[in-house]
Amino acid sequence: MVSYLDIDKELEPYGLCLRGGFVENSTYLLVGNVGSKMWKQFGREHEDWIEPNPMDNWTRKSMDALAQKIGATVIYPFDGPNYAPFQFWAEKADCVFPSPIGPLIHPKYGLWHAYRAVFLFDQAVEDVPDIPDEASPCERCFTKPCLSSCPVEAFSQDKPFKFQKCIDFLNKNLEGSCMKYGCLARQACPVGKQYAYEREHAFFHLERFRRLAPK
Ligand code: B12
Ligand code: SF4
Ligand code: SF4
């Protein structure tokens, strides 16, 4: 039988890890990154650095190979439009909750994690962990600094992310703090600070977001 712990080990050399799983017809195992571990592995081979999105290219190449090795089908979060519902799956698999600014928050890793793939198995998988019984950190965060730290107020409690406002600001402030240190709203969150993306990693995502987001 396939084991959750064995697959998690296979992911280590990529700086990735399993982020929980659930059963619904097939067994779903989510693959993700926590902090910048992945950043240290990604892009080591020059041939992986293919624009416009080298990280997606690297993910596909490495996870296609691993899926074949472990006998899984693989789905990616970036294949779309008609994107696979990764945030919905993540809430079924792991201890994560919607944050007021959009990305899911984890009690330990805060906003500093993301999803890179899901493996699907026709068979049962051993050792899939139960979801820890913890509350969302946002419930006891009364001042919600994430909501008041964006210079252009791209976030508000119950409205969708005004991403065009963010992109316009970034384009006009290429040397500004967001591009230099990463999204200030995410930085303002006190949870999981030790997992905050390294500068170059944060810059990579913001730069791709700035250049590639839908117009
Ligand atoms: C399309 C998309 C975007 C688009 C949304 C544009 C739009 N309104 O259509 C844009 C380009 C703006 C975007 C931006 C970002 N995104 Co995005 N995005 C996605 C993607 C590929 C599909 C979402 C979707 O359309 N779902 C289908 C619809 C029907 O469901 P929905 O719930 O209504 O989806 C909406 C939200 O997901 C929202 N959304 C998507 N990303 C983000 C990010 C933020 C900050 C907010 C507030 C909302 C938001 O836009 C969707 C459409 O309205 C998902 C991956 C996936 N497959 O789920 C990642 C995803 C949601 N994004 C993610 C992230 C992290 C970001 C960024 C923070 C950049 C980054 N990679 O670090 C940026 C925000 C920039 C910043 N200031 O920091 C992560 C969230 C991880 C987590 N912890 O929950 C995901 C899951 C990708 C991943 N690999 O893990 N994203
Ligand atoms: S700053 Fe507070 S409300 Fe905002 S994401 Fe972090 S814990 Fe949640
Ligand atoms: S990157 Fe800067 S402008 Fe964009 S949402 Fe984050 S704080 Fe706001």
Amino acid identity, residue 109? Answer: Y
pLDDT digits over 114-164, tens only?
Answer: 999 999 999 899 999 999 999 999 999 999 999 999 999 999 877 889 999
**Ligand 1: which of 86, 184, 198 to mutate, most ligand atoms within 8 Å of CB?**
86
* 45 pLDDT more than 90: no
CA distance 94 to 75: 18
- Read off the pLDDT of each residue in 78-91 and give the average, rounded to a whole number: 96
The residues spanned by each domain of the chain are 2-126, 137-212
63 CB-contact burial (10 Å; exposed 0-12 / middle 13-18 / buried 19+): buried
Q: Name the DSSP class of 198.
A: P
Ligand nearest to the CA of 19: 1
**Nearest alpha-carbon partner for 95 in 192, 160, 3, 11:** 192
* 180 pLDDT more than 80: yes
Helix axes 54-70, 4-11, angle to 10 degrees: 140
Ligand nearest to the CA of 114: 1
**Ligand 3: which of 99, 101, 112, 166 to mutate, most ligand atoms within 8 Å of CB?**
166
* 49 pLDDT more than 80: yes
CA distance 197 to 181: 9
159 CB-contact burial (10 Å; exposed 0-12 / middle 13-18 / buried 19+): exposed
Going by pLDDT thresholds of 50, 70 and 90, the confidence category of residue 88 is very high
Indicate which residue's Cα is closest to atom 5 of ligand 3. Answer: 166
* 46 pLDDT more than 80: no
Tokens for 204? 């990579």
Rounded to an integer, what is the distance from CA 153 to the centroid of its chain? 22
